[in-house]
Structures are given as C-alpha cells and as structure tokens.
Amino acid sequence: MNQTNRSQKSAQTGEIAGKIAAGQQIGGGDQLQLVTFGLGSEEFAVDILAVQEINRMMSLTRVPQSPPEVEGVINLRGKIIPVVDLRKRFGMASAEKSEQSRIVVVEVHGRTIGFIVDRVSEVLRISSKIVEAAPSMVCSVDSDFIAGVGKLDDRLLILLDLAKLFSAESIDAAKAA
Amino acid sequence: MSGMNFDPELLQDFLTEAGELLEQLDQDLVSLESTPQDLELVNRIFRALHTIKGSASFLALTNLVSVAHAAETALNAARNRVFVIDRGAMDLLLAAVDTVKKQFDNLRAGEELLAPEAGLCEKLIALGEGRAAAAPVAAKAAEMPKVMAVASGATSSAAATATAVASAPAGGGGGGGDPFEPGAVTSAAFALPEGKADLLEFLVADVEATLDQIQAQVTRLSDEAQRASAASAMADLTDALGRSVDFFGVEPMVRLTGVLRNVSTAGSDLPNATAPKVSRAATVAVEMLRETSKGLLGGQLVSRPLDSFVQACEALLKDGGEAGEPATANVAAASVASNASSATTSEGSTIAATSATPAAGEPAAGKAHEHDGGEKKAAAAAGDQTIRVEVSRLEALLNLVGELVLQKNRCAALGRQLSASTWGTQEYRESVQQATSSLDRVTSDLQVAVMKTRMQPLEKLFGKYPRLIRDLARKLGKQINLEIEGGETEVDKSVIEELGDPLIHLMRNSCDHGIESPEARVAKGKPEMGTIRLMASHEGSHVQILIVDDGKGIDPAFISRKAVEKGVATEAQVSAMSDREKMALIFAPGFSTAEKLSDVSGRGVGMDVVKTNIEKLKGTIEIDSTPGVGTTMRIKIPLTVAIMAAMMVAIGPEVYAVPLASITEIVKPEASQVSTIRGHKVMRLRDTVLPLLDGAELFDLPRKHESERPFAVVLAISGKRVGLLVTRPVGQQEVVIKPLDGRIDKGGPISGATVRDDGGVSLIMDMAKLLAIAERRGGGRADVAPASP
C-alpha cells in the first residue's frame, strides 16, 4: 500500500468515500492507513497519504480580514501556508493550545494547508470493511465533511473528507453562515 | 480534420518554439517593409515561416499549414524578385501572420483551428505567381494552388493510389525503371500513415522548392568567394529539408539529406581543389532526392543503393576523397547533369550512375565515418546552449535557496554565540567562525545566481512594438518611426509580464496624442516623420525605461482645464499646482483628454491603470513634457519583484514589512503634535499636516503600545503622504516576497508575505491599499486634509 502512487490512492479513497456515501458495504480486503487525531472527546482520522507532516505548535502570523477559522500563516520550509483552527472550522468551542496541540499539514487539490488539532494519537491500519457511511447525527461535525465512520472494538473513528473540508465553497459558505 | 488529439507535450513545445518565431516574424516583416531589398531578412522570414509550417504539418494542423504555405509561396517569389514587397503585399503577409497567431490562440484554448480568411491564401499565392511566365521558380510557385486544392481530398486519393500500387507485382520492377541501370533503382509501394497522408502534396512541393534553393547554393560552392555564405545558406536549407523529411520518415531521403547537411557543415572550409567535386556530389544527392520525392507523389518509394554513395561523400569531405574516386564522382555528376533536365520534366526518368560512384571510396570510409560523427556531435552541442525549464521548477529552487539563507542565518547566530563564549579551544571557535562566514558568502552568491535564472531581456516585450506602431501609424494616417535601445536589459520574468500592458498603452498614447499628423508637423517645421524612442537601461537596482516622442507635448493648462471639467480636481486645487503636478493629473482615474473616442486610445481608463500596474511592480512613472517639442515618460521599476528592500516595523506583537522605497522618514511625534480632525488622527510635521493611520487598528491588533509613545512612519505614495503609527521600527532587511494563499487574502492592506531572519512570517503592507484607506477616512486626498487649529 505504501508503494501505491498517491494519485491512484486518493482516487481509490475517493471511490471508497463515494461508496460509503451511497450507503454500500465495501467488499474486498482493502486496507486504509490513517492518521488519527483528537478534538475534544472525539477522534478523527485522515488518509495518511494526504498528510505531509505533523508539527508542534509554532507562532502564527495573523492575517487581517481573513476568514475567521484561519488562525494565521506559517513558514513551512520557505512556503507560506495558511493554518486553520479545526475547532473553529467545526464550530466547536475554542480551547487553549497545549503541549499536545499539533499542526497537521495536508495537501488538498494542490494546496498545502495546515490545521490545528488538540492531539495526534497514532497511525492506524484498518480494513475498509469496518467503515460505514456516517449516520446523519453522529457527532458535532457537519456530516458533509465526513467520509465515513470506522467502528473499532472500543471506539468510533470519524474519517474526514479533506477535499470538502477545505474547498473554497465550503469555507465561503461557513463564512456566510 | 481532427488534429486535436496529439501529445500535449509536443503541442506545448510547438507553441513555445513556434510562438517565439512568430514574434520575431512580426518584427522582421515590419523592418522588411522599410528595407525591401534586404535579401538576408527575406531569407530569415522565409526560414521562420518554413519552420513553423514544418512543425505544424508534423502535428497535422492543416489550416495552419495552408496559411503558412501561402505566405511562404509569396515570400519565395519576393526572394526571386518576381515582385517587390510594397505596402499591399506587406498587409497581406501581416494578415497571414495574424491568422497564424489566432490559430495559436485556438490551439492554446484547445479549440478547432480557425480557417484562414477567404481569399487570403489565394491572394498570397497570386502574389507568388507574379509574372508567372518570367522565371522558372515563379512557374513552380504557380503549381502551388493546384497542390492546395488537392490537399483536402488528399487522404482518400493518396490511399487509393497506395492500394493500386500495392496490388501491382512487388519485387523491384515497379514504376520508374532505369533504362541504363536496371538493378539500381528499386521502387516499392509506399503509403504514409493515416494523418500524414493528406500532407504528402505539401511535403513534395516543399521538398522540391527547397531542393531548388539548395541546388542554387550548391553551384555557388565551387566559387571560393561565395563559398562561406553558400554553405551557411545551405545549412539552413538542409535543416528545413531535414525537418520535413524526418517527419515523413522516408529512409533514403533522410540519408541523402544527411549527406547535404555534411556538405553544408564542411562547406566553408573546403579547399579549392575539392570544392567542385563536392559540389557535383551534392548535385547528385539533390537529384536523387528529387527523384524519390517525385516517386512519393505517385505512392511509390523510389530508391537506389546508397551505402557506398554516402560513404564516398563522407570520404570526399574528410580528405578530398581517395585517389580515383573523384573521377567516379565526375562521371556520376556528368551523367546526372545530362539527365537532370529530363528528370525535371518527365516523371518516369531517373538518374543514372550513382551506384557506380561509391565503390572506390568505400575502403577509407569506415574510419572517416566515425570521425565525422564525433565532429557533428560537437557542432550540435555548440549550437544548443540553452534549455527550457519550467518556471515552477525555478520557483521551487528559489524557495529552497530562501530556506538555505534562513538556516545560514541561524548558523551564523550560533557561530557568534560560540565566539563570545569560552566553549572549546580558541582555534576551534575561530574555524567555526570561518566556516559560517564562507557559508554566508556562498549562499549569497547562490541566491543571486538563482535570481538571475529568472531574468529575461526586455527585448521580449520590445520586439512586439514595431508592428504595433506600424499598424497604429497606418490607422491614424501618421508617419512614425520607432527607435528601440537597450532591449538587452534584463529584468525579472514577472516584471516583464506585468510591464507589457502599461507600455503598450503609453506607446499608443504617444502615437495618438503625441505625434501630430504629417501636415501639422510640416507646418511646425518638424520633419514629416515623427519619432518615438523607447530606451531601457540599468540604474543600480532599478531599470529605467524612457518613452520619448517628438510630438506636440502636453499642455499643463489644457490638462488642468480638462481635469476640472471632468471633476477630477477642483479649480482651487489646480491653481495651487505646479506644471508637473498638473501633468500628473492625466494619471487620475476617469481622466481622458481625447476629443473623440478612437479605438486606439481614449477610453478614459488608460493612464490610471498604467500607473496602478507600475506601482504594483513597486515602480514609479513620471512625465516630462515641453509643449510643441515632445513628451518623455520615465518609468523606474525594480529589477525584480521577488526581492525588495523593506523596513521591518513592530506593531504590538507582530512584525510587518513596509517597502523601503515608500518611506520618507520615521519620526516619534510628541503628544502635542498629534490632534484629531473629524475623529481622525493627524499630526503636525514641520509645516504640514499629516493624516495618521493607526497600525494596531488597521490590523486588528491588541493595543499593547497604548502606554508607550508610538513612532510614525511617514509614507509617500504617488505624491501623497500618510503617517503610519507603529510600536517601533525593527530594522531594514532585504525580503523575499512570497504570495499569500488567495483563499485567506481577502483584501486586507497586504500585498504578500515574507520570511524573517528568525524563521517567522511577516506580512508585507500594500501601500496602495493603505493610501486608499487613508483617503476614504480623510474624505478626499490624503495630503489635502484641512490645516489643524
């Protein structure tokens, strides 16, 4: 799986997400490799191939008149990238940044974006069989952003759809709301 | 025609390469109009067109090929003095180039190619026919229309011929049997792959036209005085021939073209003794090429054994040929010559004796061949000194260098700490210090080197203007001469891109409003022909561009009257202005002096846009004009927009970068100097009142400096001044400008971001937007705030 080329992989994940959305069970023994992280009491996951790196909190430069959920910009090896506070993006109560806070840097549609999470938990490999479409009221997050829900033995894992999460329309819509 | 599904990379290459040629074409054509006798220029234009046509036929862009071909036909005739290039002819040729340009746009947009305007090709070809009967070449040109007419239906007819021939018994007998050497000529059915077949007629016509020209040069080879020029002309021609022939992949033709190319390479250094022999051998090659290409038209591949001929030619070029060999070549040439006339007239006749030529040369040929190959490679390498690199790669490189500079700064800081400490031995501390300082030097050099890769000559822009001016002058019924100086001045690529539109606008203005009509000029005792001079030069870290015309100049009184009429300025304001300030009013939004609207200029949206664009480049524009004598526009722009000198200022917890060029001074006003007018802060600076902007308020920052007395950074933008209150200045720094993600830049007074020495990010303030905010607040122009009490 690690050798799988990125675009192929993301196409595949897109397909899975599509199937999940259509409410189908996924056949075959496809494995998903995910990075999991926490916001409050809930646990989220994104495809590991979308993740470029995970950084400790660093000082951010605020940008005037930027969308509210944009916390600021950082210097990522010479490239200036925006950092979004995921709590604000999801409309959760904001929390103080702690030692555990991390900036997860992802690439979505050629854009590099960082988002702040409360903590990063682990890298997990799960079977796509245990991933199901999200019920409409599963958590505090708008179900539009959820690619599926992974049912682990002891807990639920919310798989995020990064493309939707950081697309222009959704950000603007959130701003308008 | 469905030519839309070819390799996108090939298409991209074609667009870039042929695009450059096109630009050159425009320029050359315009200069040709004034010097129609310049044969070298005609040749260059011809070759450029030919190359474009060749590549286009490779991509099966038939519409493009037909226009290029028609223009080429006309030019060919011009070259042979069938007609003299006059204005009418030039208009036609330029129209052809314009059509090709539009087709390029189609290609870029992925659309179907525009068909050439009805009658354009016909007119061009008619031009090419000229007095058709006069010269043989003109007669050949007259054949072209036939070829063109066939082109559309060619696929089917060529295919039909191919099948017909294929059904005939294969095995050498075929079509054009040789009466003298029955075994020498082989002929086989030949069909081009789908997609190329309909271009066959073009190729053949083209190859034959080129061969005629090559033959002319070959003859000149024997004359010592003309040898060098003949060889270089031949080199270009064989290059063109090679492209066409390679495209069709007809093996014997490729080899024969190779022979001709070798002849042209060696041509200029040929000893007198060998030259005539080489010339004859080349003639043989030309005739054989003619034979094969004629055969192709009939769907047949006519060829002869070539190995020994090719080797003999190589040996001949290498060392004047082996003993005895020249004689054979003589024989060959002689018999070819005797046949040549009939070959051109009768389809079936062929050239004799070529197979006999080489036998003697063969033994020596092996080694000579290898040697020659090496030389050719070296020559090719010398001609190929540039490569194309995607801009994104250069940008990535620039980013990496920026990062390296940061790390270098960090190392330097650590080195300084170490030297100040007692850690390790003295020697150790010194060597660390040395290492960091040489690292410093190397990184700076590297940074400069990488920046240089992005530099391009202004010629890229200037090259378009002769055509522009010519067209404008014709449209306006004026006579204008454009002089360009300093086109080789290099600036950053992004500067070139942004500078194009403003310059065009300024030149248009000079033509439209500056230069007078010929009658008016004569009445004033000026020469009929007006002159616009476009000059570029380096001035330290800036480039200066001057546009100087000798037109009627700008009358300050007229400008200020117009400005008041249009409500751009009030009577009171105008009366307080100097002449220079009055002239600067033409840069005000909504100002247009054109008495009547023309499609040249005068839409009233021009000059302010020019100014805005130039300011975007952190540049300035000034006007200097003497009524009746002329106008000078002086533009100054930084060499690069990627790096800028900035003053870093702290506002509360954040550090911002302010373009150094906009700062006139930094003061720390006493509380008594600051007052409030209509709710807005102003300060008294010497004799003037300066509107103030509070940085913390502007950037929504916590007002931590409330207790402390702030500094005021005095900014001068477009002749207007405003003071920016900041907590404290941090220091001057060269900053690398980086774009902000468009999604988060929602119109704040920011033009980009940069990385500081310590790795943090600072935003760069946008002076134009700051000024706009100040003006909105002041309810008018920033520097005309009412005097303080």
**Pick the residue with more confidence: B485 or B269?**
B485
CA atoms of A37 and A117, how far apart (whole Å): 7
What is the DSSP code string of B35-88?
Answer: -TT-HHHHHHHHHHHHHHHHHHHHTT-HHHHHHHHHHHHHHHHHHTTSS---HH
List, for residues B303-336, the tens digit of each pLDDT value.
777 777 777 777 777 665 444 444 444 444 444 4
Question: In chain A, what residues touch B698 (CB-CB under 8 Å)?
Answer: 64
List, for residues B697-726, the tens digit of each pLDDT value.
888 776 655 567 889 999 887 677 889 999
Bridge partners for A125 per DSSP = A33
Residue B463's pLDDT is what?
84
Q: How confident is the model at residue A104 (pLDDT cuts 50, 70, 90)?
A: very high
Same domain, B574 and B463: yes
Same domain, B561 and B440: no
Which bin fits A28, alpha (ψ -120 to 50), beta or left (φ > 0)?
left
Residue B422's pLDDT is what?
84
Q: Which domain holds residue B703?
A: 643-784
CA atoms of B46 and B66, how far apart (whole Å): 15
CATH classification at residue B719: 2.40.50.180
> Contact B128/B97 with Cβ under 8 angstroms?
no
Residue A38's pLDDT is what?
92
**Any chain A CB within 8 A of the CB of B761?**
yes
Q: Is residue A138 part of a domain?
A: yes
Q: Is residue B49 part of a domain?
A: yes
Question: In chain B, what residues touch A82 (CB-CB under 8 Å)?
Answer: 740-741, 743-744
The answer to whether the Cβ–Cβ distance between B753 and A79 falls below 8 Å is no
Mutation to test the B interface, candidates A79, A111, A169, most B Cβ within 10 Å: A79
Nearest of B69, B66, B36 to residue B50 by alpha carbon: B69
CATH classification at residue B576: 3.30.565.10
How far is CA B337 from each of CA B110, B231, B368, B469, B517, rounded to the nearest angstrom? 50, 21, 28, 51, 60
Full-prediction pTM beyond 0.95?
A: no
**Pick the residue with more confidence: B159 or B28?**
B28
Same domain, B583 and B629: yes
Hey, which residues 103-142 in chain A have their CB within 8 Å of chain B? 111, 113
Looking at B623, B638, B653, which one is the last position of a domain?
B638
Question: In chain A, what residues touch B657 (CB-CB under 8 Å)?
Answer: none
List, for residues A13-51, the tens digit of each pLDDT value.
444 444 333 333 334 457 889 999 998 888 999 999 899
Residue B603's pLDDT is what?
45
List, for residues B210-258, the tens digit of each pLDDT value.
888 888 887 777 777 777 777 778 888 888 777 777 766 677 777 788 8
Nearest of B410, B458, B415 to residue B434 by alpha carbon: B415
Amino acid at B746: K
Mutation to test the B interface, candidates A61, A74, A81, most B Cβ within 10 Å: A61
What is the ipTM for the molecules in this complex? 0.73
List, for residues A114-161, the tens digit of each pLDDT value.
999 999 988 988 888 888 877 666 556 667 788 888 888 888 888 888
Q: Is residue A1 part of a domain?
A: no
Structure tokens at B671: 């509380």
**Any chain B CB within 8 A of the CB of A173?**
no
Q: Which domain holds residue A19?
A: 6-176
Same domain, B449 and B461: no
Task: Please give, one letter per residue, the 3-state secondary structure of A72-90.
Answer: EEEEECCEEEEEEEHHHHC
Same domain, B726 and B629: no
CATH classification at residue B96: 1.20.120.160
Sheet containing strand A42-47, strands side by side = A119-127, A31-39, A42-47, A156-160, A146-151, A131-132
CATH classification at residue A145: 2.40.50.180
Number of independent structural domains in chain B: 4
Q: Is residue B625 part of a domain?
A: yes
Q: Is residue B356 part of a domain?
A: no
List, for residues B437-471, the tens digit of each pLDDT value.
888 888 878 887 888 888 888 888 888 888 888 88
Number of independent structural domains in chain A: 1
The answer to whether the Cβ–Cβ distance between A66 and B403 falls below 8 Å is no
> Contact B512/B472 with Cβ under 8 angstroms?
yes
Q: Is residue B352 part of a domain?
A: no
The DSSP element (H or E) to which B482 belongs, if any, is strand B480-485
Same domain, B686 and B589: no
> Contact B745/A63 with Cβ under 8 angstroms?
yes
What percent of chain B is modeled with pLDDT above 70?
A: 75
Alpha helices in B510-555 (DSSP H): 518-523
Q: B455-457 and B186-189 as β-strands: parallel, antiparallel, unpaired? A: unpaired
Same domain, B618 and B761: no
Amino acid at B528: E
Q: Is residue A75 part of a domain?
A: yes
Nearest of B724, B725, B722, B723 to residue B782 by alpha carbon: B722
CA angle in degrees (0–180, nearest 5) for B411-B415-B421: 145
Sign, CA dihedral B586-B590-B593-B597, equals positive
CA atoms of B478 and B493, how far apart (whole Å): 34
What is the DSSP code string of B404-436?
Answer: HHHHHHHHHHHHHHHHHS--S-HHHHHHHHHHH
Mutation to test the B interface, candidates A58, A74, A75, A113, most B Cβ within 10 Å: A75
How far is CA B569 from each of CA B611, B717, B734, B786, rounded to the nearest angstrom? 18, 18, 38, 16
Looking at B152, B178, B210, which one is the last position of a domain?
B152
Q: How confident is the model at residue B301 (pLDDT cuts 50, 70, 90)?
A: confident
Residue A106's pLDDT is what?
93
Same domain, B654 and B620: no
